[in-house]
Amino acid sequence: MNNDLFAVIMAGGIGSRFWPRSKEAKPKHLIRIFGNNSMIQDTVDRISPIIPKENTFIITNRIQKPRVKAQLKDIPEENIIDEPFRKNTAACIALASMLIKQKNENAIIVNLPSDHLINDVTSFQKTILKAVEFAKKSDGLVTIGIKPSRPETGYGYIQIDERYVDNSVFPVLTYAEKPNLETARRFIIAGDFLWNSGMFIWRADIIFKELKKHMPDLYDEILKLESKIGAVDFDRELVGAYGQLKSISIDYGLMEKSDNVYCIKGYFDWSDVGSWEEVYYLSDKDNDANVKIGDIYTEKTFGSYIFSPKKFTALIGVEQLIVINTNEALLICNRENSQEVKQVVDHLRMHNRADLL
């Protein structure tokens, strides 16, 4: 196992599209959606054969940190970092990279979301190690692009230059935001667009070189903290630094601007599990194309996802529904509107319903 290899797992989101199961203190990555583990536990398990757990860092927030610690008992407590505010992935990655670089200047960092579903773990690990080898000997920022299986409108896309660079590593030409269906179909026909997985691999020195060039404000604020690592006032200084930062994704702030970005194709099954509709799509179904979790009765009900583990729930004469029944709240929506669940969270926040958030 390579002691220069580190992982950063980004685990500070709230998963608003998964309300009412996903809440601020126990969001999507900390709940069990598939199988017996939470999504963050599965994420750590996938990388633990290739990255030492003492080299794995979790970036979360103060509300979620206690549950993260409870679920990841094998991760050293000092490696579970809580951000004072949510500032999107650029700040999260910069902070983690600074802490890792201080620990090992030769570090190669694998940045991963905490809430993705990957079934072919062996293929995933091989792809990550291929990216690590390229990052080790180059000055590139490496990302993983997933070969599309359908014209998906819920994912961003990466356009690659099909000319080989080194061991099936391709230069990235453009990034594309989530497209409409017609545009997604064009991407599939073109053949040189991949799904944007949100995974990034690079050397610690290279990420700071690129941040200094393309995101100098972030670079300056994070570097100010380096001399404060281990000091009693580090948390206070971190709050001050974060207060100066813009909330911006690493994709928009850096990857779309750099001319030094490369991509490796991932052929493993992958999903960012971005909505209840995606959970339905990925779940095993009965003869009526229903997914039923809990004590459920259905009659003339088709193509629905029903989660109600603690209350008997009956559906009659309906189809294409999402039903999420918890102790505190009930969600019913059409499957095609599952992306709009986050609007419920916005409504509750606007009306100070912290009891449901």
Q: How far apart are alpha carbons 284 and 83 in whole angstroms?
A: 37
Q: Looking at residues 22-39, what average pLDDT do you find?
A: 92
d(CA 329, CA 295): 17
By DSSP bridging, strand 80-83 and strand 56-61 are parallel
* Domains of the chain, residue spans: 5-271, 276-356
Instruction: Tell me which H or E stretch contains 343.
Output: helix 342-350
Q: Which helix (H) or strand (E) holds 66?
A: helix 65-71
pLDDT-derived band of residue 173, with 50, 70 and 90 as boundaries? Answer: very high
What is the distance of C-alpha 223 from the center of its chain?
25
Dump pLDDT digits (tens) for 105-151.
999 999 999 999 999 999 999 999 999 999 999 889 999 999 998 89
Helix (H, G, I), strand (E, B) or coil at 102: helix
Report the predicted TM-score, pTM, of the whole model to 2 decimal places.
0.93
The number of residues making up the chain comes to: 357
Task: Give me the pLDDT at residue 24, please.
Answer: 87
Q: Is 295 helix (H, G, I), strand (E, B) or coil?
A: strand
55, two tokens = 């080299």
Fold (topology level) of 5-271:
Spore Coat Polysaccharide Biosynthesis Protein SpsA; Chain A (3.90.550)
Classified as helix, coil or strand, 217 is helix
Are the CB atoms for 194 and 145 separated by under 8 Å? yes
User: Largest alpha-carbon pair distance within the chain?
Assistant: 65
| The one-letter amino acid at 119 | N
Q: What is the pLDDT of residues 284-327, one digit of tens each?
A: 999 999 999 999 999 999 999 999 999 999 999 999 999 999 99
Q: Which of 344, 273, 200 is nearest to 32 (CA)?
A: 273
CB-based contacts of 61: which residues, under 8 Å, 6+ apart?
A: 12, 82, 83, 84, 86
**Whether 89 contacts 10, CB under 8 Å:** yes
For the record, the structure tokens of 171 come out as 């230069």
Q: What is the pLDDT of residue 154?
A: 84
Backbone angles phi, psi at 58, to 5 degrees: -115, 125
**CB contact at 8 A, 139 and 260:** yes
As a whole number of angstroms, the distance between CA 280 and CA 154 comes to 14
**Mean local confidence (pLDDT), 42-49:** 96
Dihedral sign (CA 93, 99, 100, 102): positive
Q: How many Å is the Cα radius of gyration of the chain?
A: 21
- What is the C-alpha to C-alpha distance for residues 57 and 1, in angstroms, rounded to an integer? 17
